Chain A
Amino acid sequence: MEIFHSWSENMPGLGPLWLSVKLGLVTTGILILFGTPLAFWLSRTRSHAKTIVEAMVALPIVLPPTVLGFYLLILLGPSGAIGGYWLKLTGETLTFSFGGLILASILYSMPFVIQPLQNAFESVSRGFVEAAATLGARPLDVFFTVVVPLGARGFLTAAIMGFAHTLGEFGVVLMVGGNIPGQTRVISIAIYDHVEAMEYGQAHALAAMLLVFSFVCMFALYFINRRWRHDH
């Protein structure tokens, strides 16, 4: 009883968790939607621009989040190119808002969605695409009836990686979003705050949640991948 009492007392608000989940879902959804054509183009093109685009997509993997966050802060700020335009259009600033967080997360998680998709599309043999074409299927038809089903594992990997990675981001969020409860205070920021305030109990609870969740994501990914390999 006492344990339960101390646990509930230390129980942090779950707002940051839901905010993180929302951010992850929206970001992943947008990335899959717009990343699919880009990844498909990368998988098929022989253009020289391919290498440049690939390098740009991969940048967030190597850049320190603070560098990405710094440039985004300038770009999305009220006097920045994108932020200024947004301010004129909506009367709201992009920095320190949920909208700004989504933009930042899209950039930050991009390689984790694009790369699995590109790999999946590359692994779909040209032979099947040709066979579908000789059977009367137009390119878009071929894409949805042959390439997407054969690359389904890539979509799953992309979704889980994009979602999990967005959930775990910290540096970029701190730079661009700050720490506004209900707006930009995502779970990783909340943990940082609790630690700063010496509220180790709350920090523990949130950190443990994130740890378990991340493990479940990765486990699901590898488990499904394994099942898939056995099926085909």
Chain B
Amino acid sequence: MTIEAGHVAVSLSRPDFTLDVDIRVPSHGVTGIFGASGCGKTTLLRCIAGLEQGARGSVGFNGDLWQDGDHFVPPWQRPVGYVFQDARLFPHMTVARNLHYGRRRSRVTPELTSPQEIIAMLGIDHLLDRRPAQLSGGERQRASIARALLRYPSLVLMDEPLANLDAARKHEIMPFLDRLHASLKVPMLYVSHSLDEMTRLCDHLVVMQSGKVLGQGRLHDMLMRTDLPILGGGEASTVLDVRVLDYDAQYQLSRLQFAGGEIVVPGRHGDRDCPLRLRIMASDVSLCRERPQSSSILNIMPAVVESRQAEAGGHVLVQLRVGEMRILARVTLKSAEALELIPGQSLFAQIKSVAVKNSAEQVAVDEANNREMI
């Protein structure tokens, strides 16, 4: 489906913890590594960067073997850009000297983004002469992202860069990460325990639990999977990639197009053809046998039942096909019986609300992925 850039198959044993994973890193886009705290996400990143000398197995990237058997490339020779959860800017250097540290120890590839562009993209021009101690948490994390990118890595590793920040700081950083997602030409692994961050930023998803990989694949497909309880719970959802069609100024509504259908959301979200990502929670989708003639709900579309699966708490998760896309709906067991839901049945889905996840220009990544799919 996608071209593979890296293959990581490592195991690591500690008295209280065992990591045993086999993941593939696609050559484009952001791969989210998702799982609860303590499931080994960070350890996995550390193994890839060469910071865990006890790791066994193999790490290969872009045709280079970083680790295999007794062969172990030390961390300073692996072209990775590591963004730590706690930033780890050197306290005895200014921001500028921090940025310079990795850059002057790396092979500079001329066709890549210039340092000025990276500094501008992360909005840290005015902070260059300051010491890390004089920065806010969000500024520190932005500087540490810039420092990692200025190493001109072939692979970016981000370890929960938002975990230590409060909600306001997260909102401050997210647009920068969106921009990075859109402009980054190398693959990135993004570790987080927040599904919300994942649906906004990632193109691929690896789901981990207790040191093992439960599943991996395209974000859209992974979110549709009903066999991964860790993704389900209250959070079963569908991610739709759409483009802006037009904006109705009178009602302040945007019409968006996805593969095989249209959807309407409140507010203005960029110009025509601007790519957007939407997240629709399964619990916000309800089902009707006939098209409702008078309803306050704007988004009503014909759908076909593909499968249904009982959930705890008297609910049923229904997978629907709408045009060429699949979406999930959660209904009560009673409604499912009343509607006599069976695979192949045609009905109408009502979408109560839609969250617009980002409005960044993520053309580069998505188009690269689409090209490979064809």
Contacts and interface: CB of A to CB of B under 8 A. Distances in A.
B106 interface: yes
The interface residues of chain A, by DSSP majority, are classed as helix
Given A133-B74, A135-B105, A136-B151, A149 B84 contact: no
Contacts of B77: 136
B364 interface: no
A50 interface: no
Contacts of B86: 127
Contact of A149 (B50, B92, B147): B92
Given A127-B86, A130-B51, A135 B102 contact: yes
A146 B133 CA distance: 16
Nearest to A125: B88
A79 interface: no
B84 A145 contact: no
B51 A134 contact: yes
Contacts of A130: 51, 75, 84, 88
Interface of B: 49-51, 74-78, 80-82, 84, 86, 88, 90-92, 101-102, 105-106, 133, 147-148, 151
A107 interface: no
A138 B76 contact: yes
Given A131-B90, A134-B102, A150-B92, 20 more contacts: A127-B88, A128-B88, A130-B51, A130-B75, A130-B88, A131-B82, A133-B74, A134-B78, A134-B80, A134-B81, A135-B101, A135-B105, A135-B106, A135-B147, A136-B105, A136-B106, A136-B151, A137-B105, A149-B92, A150-B90
Contacts of B147: 135
B75 A133 contact: yes
Contacts of A145: 101
Given A150-B91, A150-B92, A232-B133, A133 B84 contact: no
Nearest to B49: A134
A131 B84 contact: yes
A141 B106 CA distance: 14
A137 B76 contact: yes
A132 interface: yes
Contacts of B106: 135-136
Contact of A132 (B49, B80, B101, B148): B101
Nearest to A146: B90
A216 to B, nearest CB: 27
A141 B76 CA distance: 11
Contact of A136 (B88, B90, B102): B102
Contact of B91 (A133, A134, A232): A232
A134 B158 CA distance: 12
A127 B92 contact: no
A181 to B, nearest CB: 46
A228 to B, nearest CB: 11
B161 to A, nearest CB: 14
A127 B105 contact: no
Contacts of A149: 92
Contacts of B51: 130, 133-134
Contact of A135 (B50, B92, B133, B151): B151
Nearest to B89: A131
9 contacts: A128-B90, A132-B101, A134-B75, A134-B82, A135-B147, A137-B101, A138-B76, A141-B105, A149-B92
A150 B132 CA distance: 14
Contacts of A136: 76-77, 102, 105-106, 151
